[in-house]
């Protein structure tokens, strides 16, 4: 193989469509733009969502819902996850290191999904009422 013989694979490159180059090309005269109107003119276009002056769809529909920006700082883990970790003491830093919660998480709460059979000491982690009862029944504690 020589540097002067390298070429792209067959079908990888294709010629650019040359519009407005005479009637023989099939794309002459109006160059595929149709007749008249804003879209046929050079530089004539509109912003996304513009409907020709009609009230656009995103403004006709009612506003609904709210997504809190602080949700990314909250995380939850299940009793099953605690069981799989196999640690005696768990805090926010260890959960981040293991990768159970995101790096941005500031508040972590344990929810009662699954079961817990071994004692786990939680430090700086919240729990729902059901999860707290399950942790204490297994001999664990919350601090």
Domains of the chain as residue ranges with CATH: 19-46 (no CATH), 73-142 (3.100.10.10)
% the chain with pLDDT above 70: 100
pLDDT score recorded for residue 129:
96
- State the number of CA atoms in the 13 A half-sphere of 84 facing the CB: 11
* pTM given for the model: 0.56
Where is 76: in which H helix or E strand?
strand 74-78
CA 24 from centroid of its chain's CA atoms? 48
Over residues 28-64, the pLDDT tens digits come to 999 999 999 999 999 988 899 999 899 999 999 999 9
Q: Read off the pLDDT of each residue in 75-91 and give the average, rounded to a whole number.
A: 93
What is the C-alpha separation between 40 and 81, in angstroms, rounded? 60
């Amino acid at each position: 193989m020589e540097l002067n013989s390298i070429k792209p694979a067959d079908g990888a490159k294709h010629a650019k469509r040359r519009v407005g180059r005479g009637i023989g090309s099939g794309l002459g005269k109006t160059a595929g733009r149709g007749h008249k109107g804003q879209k046929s003119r050079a530089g004539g276009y509109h912003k996304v969502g513009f409907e020709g002056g009609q009230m656009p769809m995103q403004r006709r529909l009612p506003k609904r819902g709210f997504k809190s920006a602080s949700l990314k700082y909250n995380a939850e883990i299940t009793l099953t996850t605690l069981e799989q970790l196999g640690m005696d003491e768990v805090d926010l830093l260890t959960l981040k290191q293991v990768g159970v919660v995101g790096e941005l998480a500031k508040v972590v709460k344990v929810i009662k999904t699954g079961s817990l059979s071994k004692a786990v000491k939680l430090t700086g982690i919240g729990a729902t009422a059901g999860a707290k009862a399950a942790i204490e029944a297994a001999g664990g504690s919350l601090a």
